[in-house]
Amino acid sequence: MIKKIIVFLLLTIISFAADATVEIVKKIDVLPKIAIQDASPNNIDTEFRKSFFKLLAGDLRVSSHFRVEDEYLRSSYEGGPIENFLSDKKVDLILRFSLDQNLNSAAANVKLINARTGVTSFEKAYNLPDKKRYPFLAHKISVDINDQIGAPSISWMEQSVVFAKYTEAKKSDIIIADYTLSYQKTMVTGGLNIFPKWSSKEQSAFYYTSYSGVEPTIYKLDMRDGSRKSIISGPGMIVCSDVSQDGNKLLLTMAPKDQTDIFLYDVRTRKIEKITDYSGIDVNGNFIDNDKRIVFISDRLGYPNVFAQNLNDKNVEQMVYHGKNNNSASAFDNYIVYSSREGKSEFGGSTFNLYLISTKTDNLRQLTATGENLYPRFSKDPDTIMFIKQYQNQSSLGIIRLNANKTYHFALKTGKLQSIDW
Amino acid sequence: MSKLALTSLAVAVLVLTGCSQKSPEVDMTKGTGDTKGTGVNDGMSALQKLIASLEANSKVIYFDFDKFNIRKDQQANIDANAALFNSSEAKGFSIKVEGNCDEFGTDEYNYALGLKRAKSVKDGLVAKGMNADRVTVVSYGESNPTCTDKNKACWDKNRRAEFKVLP
C-alpha cells in the first residue's frame, strides 16, 4: 500500500517538476504519515532528547514528503505490540531513535518501522565525531529516511551554510551553520568580514572579503587546518560572487579604477580577465551553462536588472522584463531566481520579493509576499532556494521548497544576516 | 635524564593539546598583515589631533534613494570640502572617501552603489581643484549605519559619503 502511495506521489512530483515556474495549487493529500519515537536511555538529558526530536520532525516536515505526527513519543528500542504499530495514531511509518551517551561524538541508533506490519525495514548506527554537530546528525538521518521511501533526495539538508552577519557598525563575523541555524560556529571574527563563498562542493574551505588590511582583500580559509591565504586585493571593493563547478575559476566584482565590473579570476594561474565593460554598476556574477556564460546584475538600463553574457564575447542579453529594481540573482540550469523591489517609494517598509523565471518560457512565478526577501541562492538541487529575510527587526534564513510551494524561516537570534552561501 | 624526559613529555603534551584544536577561529584583528606602529608620543598626538579636527570639519554628503549623483543641495558641501582639504594644513594628507548605503536591498549591489557614491564625491572634489592622486575611495555598503531607527529620517542619514584623513 505504501509503495503504491509513493509511486503515485512520485509520478505527481515528476509531472509537475517539468516546469518549476508553474505553481502547484492543488494539494494531494497522500503523503505517508510518520511518527517519531525517542528510545534514548533515561540518563540522557530530556531537553536534549526533545530538541533532537524537534530537529527530526522539522526536517521531515520541510522535506514535504511526509505528514508528521506532532506528538513527542517514547518507546524502548525494540518496542512492542503497541509501539511498533501505534494503531490509534493511524501512521504508516515509525522513526525510532536512540541517542548515544558518548561525550565526544554525536551518535544514535535508528530504526524505520512499517507501522502496518510492525516490521523494521531499515536500521542504522550513526556517529559524527563532534558532539556539537548533532543537528547534522538529525539531517543525515532524515535524508536516509527520505531515501528509504524513494522520495526525491533531500541531501541538500546535509549541506553546511556559510553566512556573514553584521554585529555592529563596520563589524561582521563569518559563521558556518546547518540550514536551521541550530548549529553555528564562528569561523572569522574581528573587523568587517563579508561575502563568504564555498570554494568547492566538498565545503572544506571558503573565500571571503576582509577590510582589515590597507585595501579590501579576498582570503581563503581552509577549515581542515585553519590556514588563511590571501588571494587578491583591490581598491574600493572586492567580492567573490561565484565559483566554477571545478573550483578553478572565480567571478569577482572588483573596482581597480574605482569602477565596479565583473572579472574572471583563474585560481591556478592567478590571471584576471575583465568580463563586463560598462561605466555603471555590474555585480553579482553567477556561472551558468557549464560555466561558459554568466548571469549578473547591472544598472545599464538606469535601474538594477538581470542580464546574461557569454564569457568569450561582449554580447549582453536582458533576462528579466519585469520589475524596476532587480538587485540580486541566482541561476540553476535554465531557472533564474531574483529579488525585486516592489513599488517606488522610499519607505515605509520597502518590500522586496523573490521571483522565479525560466529562460525557456515566459512564465514568471512570485515566491514571496511580505518583508524584504533578498540574496536568493539555489541549493545543489533546483527544488530548494535559500534566501535572507528581513522583517521589521528580525533577520532570518529562508528556505523555499518549490514543488511543495512552501517556505520556512529560521531566525537569527542576534545580528543581521549580510550574505549567505551553501 | 629523567628531568629531561619529563620536560620533553611536558612539551610534547603542550604541543599535542595545542594541535588537537580543529578549525580554530580566525581573528582578523590579530592578522599577519601589516601592523601600524604606535609612533612617537609627542609628534603623533599633535598629528592625530590635526587629523581629527580635519575630519570633524569635513561635511558629510547625502544622497537620494538608489542614486549616486551629487544633489544640487550638496554641491556647496563638496566645494567646502575641497577648500578644506586643499588648505595649507591639509595639503600633505591623503583623503579617503567612504561610500555608504541605507539598509534596503541586497548587499553586493549596495557595496557597488556605495562605491559609486564615493566616486561621485571624488570626481566633485577633483573638479574643484583637488589632485586625484590624493583621493581614494572605498565602499562600506550597508555595514556602517549612523542610526538604526526604522524611519525615513534615519534612512536619509545613512545614504552618505564621509571622509577619513590619512597621514
pLDDT in tens, B19-30: 433 444 788 877
Give a yes or no: residue B18 inside a domain.
no
Domain end: A128, A153, A178, which one? A153
Residue A148 pLDDT > 80: yes
- Which range, of A49-63, A155-169, A382-396, averages the lowest pLDDT? A382-396
pLDDT at A377: 95
Range B89-108 average pLDDT: 93
Same domain, A95 and A50: yes
Residue A382 sits in a domain whose CATH number is: 2.120.10.30
pLDDT at B16: 42
Same domain, A279 and A394: yes
Instruction: Please say whether the beta carbons of A96 and A194 come within 8 A.
Output: no
Contact B104 A349 (CB under 8 A): no
Give a yes or no: residue B20 inside a domain.
no
Range A223-237 average pLDDT: 95
* Interface test mutation site (partner A, options B22, B25, B26, B36, max chain A beta carbons within 10 A): B26
- Residues from chain B contacting residue A253 (CB–CB below 8 Å): 108, 111-112
Angstrom distance (rounded) from CA A194 to CA A196: 6
Give a yes or no: residue B119 inside a domain.
yes
**What strands lie across the sheet with A282-288, from one edge to the other?**
A282-288, A293-298, A305-310, A316-318
Range A185-210 average pLDDT: 96
Mean pLDDT, chain B, as a whole number? 84
Contact B112 A253 (CB under 8 A): yes
Q: Of the candidates A191, A223, A339, which has its C-beta nearest B23's C-beta?
A: A223
Chain A CB within 8 Å of residue B96 CB? no
Contact A186 B25 (CB under 8 A): yes
Range A245-261 average pLDDT: 94
pLDDT at A90: 93
pLDDT confidence band for A29 (50 / 70 / 90) = low
Compute the nearest-CA separation of B46 from chain A (Å).
Answer: 23
Give a yes or no: residue B11 inside a domain.
no
Range B59-84 average pLDDT: 96
Compute the nearest-CA separation of A79 from chain B (Å).
Answer: 39
Contact A166 B143 (CB under 8 A): yes
Residue B12 pLDDT > 80: no
* Interface test mutation site (partner B, options A168, A237, A284, max chain B beta carbons within 10 A): A237
Give a yes or no: residue A261 inside a domain.
yes
Same domain, A272 and A348: yes
Give a yes or no: residue A13 inside a domain.
no
Residue A279 pLDDT > 50: yes
pLDDT in tens, A136-147: 999 999 999 999
Same domain, A408 and A262: yes
- Residues from chain B contacting residue A194 (CB–CB below 8 Å): 107, 141, 143
Instruction: Please say whether the beta carbons of B161 and B60 come within 8 A.
Output: yes
- Residues from chain B contacting residue A188 (CB–CB below 8 Å): 25-28
Contact A187 B66 (CB under 8 A): no
pLDDT at A226: 92
Give a yes or no: residue A4 inside a domain.
no
Contact A341 B116 (CB under 8 A): no
Chain A CB within 8 Å of residue B71 CB? no
Residue A116 pLDDT > 60: yes
Give a yes or no: residue B65 inside a domain.
yes
Domain end: A106, A123, A153, which one? A153
Contact A328 B139 (CB under 8 A): no
Residue B103 sits in a domain whose CATH number is: 3.30.1330.60
Q: Is A347 exposed, middle or buried (0-12, 13-18, 19+ CB in 10 A)?
A: middle
Range A21-44 average pLDDT: 80
DSSP string across A41-109: -TTS-HHHHHHHHHHHHHHHHHHTS-EE--S-EE--SS--TTTTT-GGGT-SEEEEEEE---SSSEEEE
Contact B150 A372 (CB under 8 A): no
- Looking at chain A, the whole-number percentage of residues with pLDDT higher than 90 is 79
Contact B143 A186 (CB under 8 A): no
Range A51-69 average pLDDT: 97
Same domain, A73 and A144: yes
pLDDT at A357: 93
The CA–CA distances, whole Å, from A168 to A193, A239, A391, B145 equal 12, 20, 18, 9
Give a yes or no: residue B75 inside a domain.
yes
Q: Of the candidates A190, A216, A304, which has its C-beta nearest B27's C-beta?
A: A190
- Residues from chain B contacting residue A214 (CB–CB below 8 Å): 34
Residue A142 sits in a domain whose CATH number is: 3.40.50.10070
Range B113-126 average pLDDT: 97
pLDDT at B35: 41
Same domain, A334 and A276: yes
Give a yes or no: residue A18 inside a domain.
no
CB atoms within 10 A of CB B12: 10
Instruction: Please say whether the beta carbons of A255 and A261 come within 8 A.
Output: yes
Same domain, A230 and A260: yes
Same domain, A316 and A171: yes
Give a yes or no: residue A19 inside a domain.
no
Give a yes or no: residue B34 inside a domain.
no
Contact A419 B150 (CB under 8 A): no
Q: Of the candidates A169, A253, A372, which has its C-beta nearest B104's C-beta?
A: A372
Range A272-281 average pLDDT: 94
Place of cell 494539494: A27
Same domain, A211 and A124: no
Contact B29 A190 (CB under 8 A): yes
Instruction: Please say whether the beta carbons of A59 and A97 come within 8 A.
Output: no
| Domain count of the fold of chain B | 1
pLDDT confidence band for A391 (50 / 70 / 90) = confident
Same domain, A95 and A47: yes
Angstrom distance (rounded) from CA A360 to CA A376: 20
- Residues from chain A contacting residue B24 (CB–CB below 8 Å): 226
pLDDT at B3: 59
Give a yes or no: residue A9 inside a domain.
no
Q: Which ipTM was obtained for this model?
A: 0.87
Residue A178 pLDDT > 60: yes
Contact A169 B145 (CB under 8 A): yes
Angstrom distance (rounded) from CA A326 to CA A321: 10
pLDDT at A191: 95
pLDDT at B13: 45
Give a yes or no: residue B98 inside a domain.
yes
Range B106-128 average pLDDT: 96
Domain that holds residue B109: 61-167
pLDDT at B10: 46
Give a yes or no: residue A166 inside a domain.
yes
- Residues from chain A contacting residue B66 (CB–CB below 8 Å): 303, 325
Same domain, A37 and A175: no
pLDDT at A23: 58
Same domain, A143 and A170: no
pLDDT at A11: 46
Highest mean pLDDT among A105-109, A172-176, A366-370 belongs to A172-176
Give a yes or no: residue A10 inside a domain.
no
Mean pLDDT, chain A, as a whole number? 91
Domain end: A97, A125, A153, which one? A153
pLDDT in tens, A290-317: 899 999 999 999 999 999 999 988 899 9
pLDDT confidence band for A283 (50 / 70 / 90) = very high
Domain that holds residue A39: 31-153
Can you say how many angstroms the Cα of residue B160 is from the centroid of all Cα atoms in its chain? 13
Residue A201 pLDDT > 50: yes
| Domain count of the fold of chain A | 2
